[in-house]
Structure 1
Amino acid sequence: MDQHLGQRLRQQFDQLTPNEQKVAGFILDHFDDVAIYSAAEIARLTGVSKATVSRLFRRLGFASFSEVRQHARELRYHGVPLVTDSTALGSGLERFQRHFERERDNLHQMLAAIDSATFDALIEALDHAPEVLVIGYRNGYPPALHLRQQLIQIRPDVRLAPLPGQSLGEELAGVKPGTLAIVMGFRRRANGFSNLLAQLGDRGLDTLVIGDPTLAATGVSPTWQLECPLDSVSAFDSYTSVMSLINLLANALLHRRLGEGRARIDAISELYSSLDELS
């Protein structure tokens, strides 16, 4: 993305007129609500003229305030947690209904996009790969950790990378031939995401990327790609569809290797008791 509105304001703040600085300060203090206000409301709340507000936005590279609001909505699409509609959540029981409907739509969209034959091929790869390497940065790390925790109960040789505070190079240096790499790739991805996938491909690894619809803009071409919508009724992304997909993958793998899976789960349960790890 180009610099967003807040970055442009901070960069140019010292060059603004006193009245423009009033508007800039207000926007920086209410950045989440930029898409809610009109130019006239901002002018009224800051005690300046509407012309001053318009002049400031032109200085920042926006032709009109409607362009500013569209810019704010695009930021939300790319994962910046902004409130673009102050009434979106609703109130009372309505907020629960809206939340439920959004979650339901995300799940439906995620499942409808999965081809059954492709899914079966992926589960076969999960079953037969000598090793599974699960990779997750930033907001992809918690689901990567959870996926690893589920898979390790079903089969051996499931690794998580990078470990907290560590880098990825040493994890890839000794990766086994035939390893299946599962990469979490949600919006606001860490730098080097495309290069990481290229490195995995150069090592001949089959790769599954679990991400959101913004993956299309990265131009990556993994072996498999599963999209999980993250839309919510307001500012923060929802990972319900991601966790549901992880549950589906783990259950499908368990049912594919039911005998070995049951035996491993029993062995792990015995170790829990022997180590007195669980209450």
Structure 2
Amino acid sequence: MPQSTATATPATPAAPASPAAAAPIGQRIDENYAELSPQEQRAADVILDHLDDLALYNASELARLSGVSKATVSRLFRSLGFADAQEVRDHARALRSQGVPLGGITLDPQRSSAVDAHLAQEQSNLRAMLATVSDGRLTEAAGLIARARRVVVIGLRNSYPLALHLRQQLVLGLTDVRLAPAPGQSIGEELAGLTANDAVVLVGFRRRPSGFGRILDAATTLSVPIVLLADPSARRHADRVALYLECPVDSVLAVDSYAAANSLVALLATESLAVAARGSRTRIASINRLYSGLDELEPPA
């Protein structure tokens, strides 16, 4: 029997997700709140109150907390662009892993449980960071920085304040430490002219801009050694840098915590100045004389 020569109809490509469907659930609720029924608004209010632990609830539990039916909760999920409660839980877990603010505990000093939870998470972050860098990579990174002809510290978005602080500490003992990008400027000017004798310290904690990889590409093309300070979400970039110093920023609060990251900055700066000990002492003494001559610092009490 001859085989059929009928041609299969190509599958219709799936329509791309709308911007609204890609938005965090809190934003979707805010944008659609006025159109929700009173019962759906009650369920939405409960969701907004539990954004920090939304991944732990199913539709029945949210219905019970809201005082509405499970059907109402399911209808709310569909109106917000979700198929079911499982998709909502997956969505909440994905957002928190990306550092998206989702609520968090209220840090009331009168509530010892909230303070204890915050302290426990901060200690966990600090222990994880110290465990990661205690294998000698911190000392190796400090040596690379201290011996570089020029150091360019780069930080974008939430990483910028950390980069600024690191540069301020390093410049106390190292002669040529630059921060990029300068306000209103781009990074290209600071990378131009760098060689293997220089160093780039790239601070890249989560919610990095889309051009982050291109910065790595540019520095790699110039053969500049890169020290990357980042959280675990940057592990995919680790094989592209000379040294990767990892530090979690997990938090029980609504936003990420950079306490351990600031501790890492202090460790890296201290180690770097120690490697360049003689030059650092000379430069620090010169800076202190200028502080005095310019009357820039308030005298000690």
The SS at the match of 1:113 is helix
- Aligned mate of 2:290, from 267, 271, 276: 271
- 2: distance between equivalents of 1:271 and 1:200? 35
- 1: distance between equivalents of 2:41 and 2:228? 40
Determine whether 1:93 maps to 2:108.
Answer: no
Q: Does the 8 A contact of 1:99 with 1:232 survive in 2?
A: yes
- 2: distance between equivalents of 1:104 and 1:156? 34
- 1: distance between equivalents of 2:144 and 2:165? 19
Tell me the C-alpha RMSD between the 2 structures.
3.3
Aligned to 2:100: 80
Determine whether 1:151 maps to 2:170.
Answer: yes
Determine whether 1:71 maps to 2:91.
Answer: yes
- Provide closer, same or farther for how the CA distance between residues 207 and 127 of structure 1 changes in structure 2, counting only shifts above 3 A: same
- Aligned mate of 2:72, from 44, 52, 57: 52
Alignment TM-score, normalising by the size of structure 1: 0.84
Q: Does the 8 A contact of 1:23 with 1:42 survive in 2?
A: no
| Greater shift in the superposed pair: 112-121 or 239-248 | 112-121
Q: Does the 8 A contact of 2:250 with 2:256 survive in 1?
A: yes
- Aligned mate of 1:33, from 34, 50, 62: 50
How far did 1:146 drift? 0.6
Identity %: 43
How far did 1:115 drift? 4.9
- 2: distance between equivalents of 1:120 and 1:41? 50
Determine whether 1:202 maps to 2:233.
Answer: no
- Aligned mate of 1:181, from 200, 213, 218: 200
- Aligned mate of 1:226, from 237, 242, 245: 245
- Provide closer, same or farther for how the CA distance between residues 222 and 176 of structure 1 changes in structure 2, counting only shifts above 3 A: closer
Determine whether 1:23 maps to 2:59.
Answer: no
Q: Does the 8 A contact of 1:88 with 1:233 survive in 2?
A: no
Determine whether 1:240 maps to 2:259.
Answer: yes
- 1: distance between equivalents of 2:66 and 2:290? 65
Number of equivalenced pairs: 275
Query: What residue identity is the alignment partner of 2:40?
Result: V
| Greater shift in the superposed pair: 254-263 or 194-203 | 254-263
- 1: distance between equivalents of 2:176 and 2:190? 13
- 1: distance between equivalents of 2:22 and 2:36? 26
1:43-63 deviation per Cα after TM superposition (whole angstroms, max 9, x unaligned) = 578886431321342455534
1:100-130 deviation per Cα after TM superposition (whole angstroms, max 9, x unaligned) = 2221111111111125333332222112110
The SS at the match of 1:135 is strand
The SS at the match of 2:133 is coil
How far did 1:138 drift? 1.1
How far did 1:181 drift? 0.3
Q: Does the 8 A contact of 1:106 with 1:231 survive in 2?
A: yes
Determine whether 1:109 maps to 2:125.
Answer: no
How far did 1:212 drift? 0.4
Aligned to 2:276: 257
